[in-house]
Amino acid sequence: MTATTDGSTGALPPRAAAASETDSTTPVAAGVHEAAVHAVRRATDFLLSRQDAEGWWKGDLETNVTMDAEDLLLRQFLGIREESTTLAAALFIRGEQREDGTWATFHGGPGELSTTIEAYVALRLAGDAPDAPHMAKAAEWIRAQGGIAASRVFTRIWLALFGWWKWEDLPELPPELIYFPKWMPLNIYDFGCWARQTIVPLTIVSAKRPVRPAPFPLDELHTDPDHPNPVKPLAPAATWDGAFQRLDKGLHALRKVVPRKLRRAAMRSAARWIIERQENDGCWGGIQPPAVYSLIALHLLGYDLRHPVMRAGLESLDRYAVQRGDGARMIEACQSPVWDTCLATVALVDAGVPADHPQLVKAADWMLGEQVVRPGDWSVRRPGLTPGGWAFEFHNDNYPDIDDTAEVVLALRRVKHHDPERVEKAIARGVRWNLGMQSKDGAWGAFDVDNTSPFPNRLPFCDFGEVIDPPSADVTAHVVEMLAVEGLAHDPRTRRGIEWLLAEQEPNGSWFGRWGVNYIYGTGSVVPALTTAGLPASHPAIRRAVAWLESVQNDDGGWGEDLRSYRHVKEWSGRGASTASQTAWALMALLAAGERDSKAVERGIEWLAATQREDGSWDEVYFTGTGFPWDFSINYHLYRQVFPLTALGRYVHGEPFAPTSLAEAKVAG
């Protein structure tokens, strides 16, 4: 049975579908080991050939068409939309439309209302007529789902900018939030860094309520154009939803009486906050959405498009564009060079490339130059901590992240560099920073410490994606693995992380994957960390994980997991068409658990070898990365290369680091 593309969730998830057209049942002629060696050689050559001259790797970061639609809407709002850009974006957006007229947020996923609305509006901007068959089909589906009124808040904000929705029918977001002290609920540091960077500029937009003349009506997207926003009953006052809905009503009333002087001062403070966080290349946090909203907010406050802040910001947006061979233009939500480079380095060394290979040394040089050595927003919660982390992107000194830092340290530790003292100092700073970012429960989040307030997710404004950054198993696992490699397996802080991971194991033996899809990613991260830290392969947690991975292996020998597992855990956990990256994650866990000679590993290795392309790469149309579980999915185009090479390399050459015994640590099993 293969994965459905009609959005249904009642069907049994697939177990045997392959992720490429290659016949994965073809026998591996020369034996499993020989096939793995051959695959490693080809994959190594392919990956080395993709390194930039400066030393970094970066694959495309594919998300969904809302990035492209909002880029066009921004340009329309600012009056800078060009015909060539519009046509290239429209070509990409049209190409992503499905047979039922909808757009999805991940390959093979169900149609998504807000994404379809934004794509439809973008194509209207590009000149597509509403009675064109592909547009009429989309509009019919949108109306059937409740129309614009049923879309998420962010979509209706974009429509309100052009008068297609009323500002008074949107949740209120007052700029006075900027004055809330950090101990007060709903202060801006209660939000995850990605949400914080978006919400601060949107408080200005919400206060200003701008409207640009709409270039066309959108009556066809309402179920009842005469009454586009039917009144919905409030949730009971005794519930959290009801309480926050009434809070929003109070904020709407308060808007009319807030002293103008206070509001203007709050907007100026928010603007200073935004400008202080603009990166050297003009972006904000290295991600596209905060840049878009920051440019709108500053423009509303009178910043001319020729102002240096605005000019640099607009120029940074162009760097998110990927020009495709067919003339289409895809917008990346973010770029991942640090993450891709450290993963590529790990993969190449584990695959047998000499540690002093010139390309690895060049990669190490580039990573060393990317270390963040000044405080950022994380220091609000850790004011005395010395900087030393790494970010995800080319330019993002305000928001280094714990996951990248751990993986960069693991990568640097593998390279034989000509300046070992420099490397040791950088690693020491990174380790110290990661230890200082441990949350009080013993685990690690991605960007901040103890970013676990329950209130932000309750706001009517926050109806899309995660807005807080609690600890996760995958990030914690990467830190634990790094600390163990650095000789800190017995450190009490490492032991607390291990204990947290053991307590977080699911009843079926897997771990939840916050930043990758999903239980296969979580398990593929945790098992190597625990064994590197000294847990024996016989430990009950490891055996449960092995049993689970074996139970969800596909009939073709690979592993896969659909993003529906974030919503329908029982049906989709560990289930989906086989992919190169997810097969590699499962193999990395099994190899770390001592299962090298097992039938499951042999079949997984055979699948990777059989589905490899002639040039040494793999195909992967499925999305295996996660921005927000279910809501925002990512296809990291380099995942399909680095993780299979890592798994194959460890199969051929063994585990990269000998585990450290934790017998004395007395970690509960």
Active site residues: 403
The one-character DSSP state at 429 is: H
Nearest to 397 by CA among 373, 381, 380: 373
For residues 210 and 225, give the distance between their C-alpha atoms in angstroms, rounded to a whole number.
22
DSSP string, 133-164: HHHHHHHHHHHHTT-GGGS-HHHHHHHHTTTS
Q: Are 143 and 235 in contact (CB under 8 A)?
A: no
Residue 343: name the closest of 636, 12, 37 by CA.
636
> What are the tokens at 25?
């049942």
Spatial CB neighbours of 453, under 8 Å, sequence gap ≥ 6: 185, 186, 190, 468
Angle at 429 between CA 281 and CA 467, to 5 degrees: 55
CA distances from 80 to 70, 501, 502 (A): 13, 50, 53
Task: Say how far apart CA 264 and CA 260 lie, in whole Å.
Answer: 6
397-400-404-405 Cα dihedral, nearest 10 degrees: 100
Give the contacts of 186 (CB within 8 A, at least 6 positions apart): 177, 180, 453, 455, 456, 459
Sort residue 108 into left (φ over 0), alpha (ψ -120 to 50) or beta.
left
- Alpha carbons 230 and 244: distance in angstroms, whole number: 20
Alpha helices in 7-105 (DSSP H): 32-49, 66-78, 83-95
Tokens of 579: 């992919």
Q: In a 3-state reduction of DSSP, which class is residue 282?
A: coil
Report whether 517 contacts 523 (CB < 8 A). no
Instruction: At 406, give phi and psi (nearest 5°).
Output: -60, -45
Give the Cα separation of 103 and 96 in Å (integer): 7
